[in-house]
């Protein structure tokens, strides 16, 4: 099925460990996003990529890095995980040409726990 | 500054009651979109409705309706004759032209529908 695929779905890390969250979309969308969701705070933008080859910081970028590997893939890396990064992470994509809908497609989320 | 405010943290109703979710947004842009998303207990984000800033016409779609008022910067959402399956967290979101249409989410309102 077309859409946004995130891996893994669940992950437990120890403080200080590193890991990369993977995201891929097969809709030929230009823009991709990483959000984190914490209780009582909604979803907050970590990083985004408006097009292949570009990345920009969002609202809460500290402690994260991203790579827009190609048009399909946008990965999020935690270099040294901290308990404060325990959250649910969502990847999303959007087509810049879709000026009528400006609809986002979200992945199913990655639940990350840092102990 | 919070661009989207959902003042209601939790709402609990009995099945068949109507539920109205409040959303107040803040923007200086003239071109923007407003969204409502549903997040059921399974965790995925489900797109419900979207309006653009040039269309204040309020509509009804099945059991969902919305009331968009630019004069009060509000975009309220109503579920008519609620059902247990409507139990979820509901997010209001804003995307603005000047921020390249990135989504800014409210904190969410948890709706519990009791049988």
**Which of A57, A88, A102 to mutate against chain B (most B CBs within 10 Å)?**
A102
- Residue-level pLDDT at A41: 86
Pairwise CA distance, residues A104 & A91, whole Å:
10
Mean pLDDT to the nearest integer, A81-92: 97
Which residues from B are below 8 Å from A41, CB to CB? 107
The verdict on a CB contact (< 8 Å) between B95 and A102 is yes
Higher per-residue confidence, A55 vs B97: A55
Q: Quote the CA–CA distance of B22 and A25 in Å, as a whole number.
A: 33
**What pLDDT score was predicted for residue B7?**
94
pLDDT of B106 > 60? The answer is: yes
- Residue A106's beta-bridge partner residues? A92
Report pLDDT for B27.
Answer: 95
């Amino acid at each position: 099925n077309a859409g946004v695929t995130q891996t893994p779905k669940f992950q437990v890390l120890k403080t200080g460990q590193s890991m990369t969250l993977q995201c891929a979309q097969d809709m030929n969308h230009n823009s991709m996003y990483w959000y984190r969701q914490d209780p009582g705070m909604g979803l907050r933008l970590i990083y985004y990529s408006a097009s292949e080859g570009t990345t920009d910081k969002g609202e809460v970028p500290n402690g994260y890095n991203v790579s827009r590997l190609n048009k399909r893939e946008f990965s999020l890396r935690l270099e040294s995980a901290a308990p404060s990064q325990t959250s649910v992470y969502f990847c999303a994509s959007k087509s810049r040409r879709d000026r009528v809908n400006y609809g986002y497609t979200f992945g199913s989320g990655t639940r990350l726990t840092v102990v | 500054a919070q661009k989207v405010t959902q003042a209601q943290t939790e709402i609990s109703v009995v099945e068949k009651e109507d539920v109205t979710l409040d959303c107040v947004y803040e923007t200086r842009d003239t071109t923007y979109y407003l969204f409502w998303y549903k997040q059921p207990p399974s965790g995925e984000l489900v797109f419900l409705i979207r309006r653009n800033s040039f269309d204040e016409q309020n509509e009804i779609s099945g059991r969902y309706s919305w009331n968009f008022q630019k004069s009060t910067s509000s975009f309220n959402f109503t579920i008519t004759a609620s059902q247990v399956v409507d139990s979820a967290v509901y997010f209001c979101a804003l995307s603005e032209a000047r921020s390249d249409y990135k989504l800014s989410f409210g904190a969410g309102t948890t709706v519990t529908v009791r049988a």
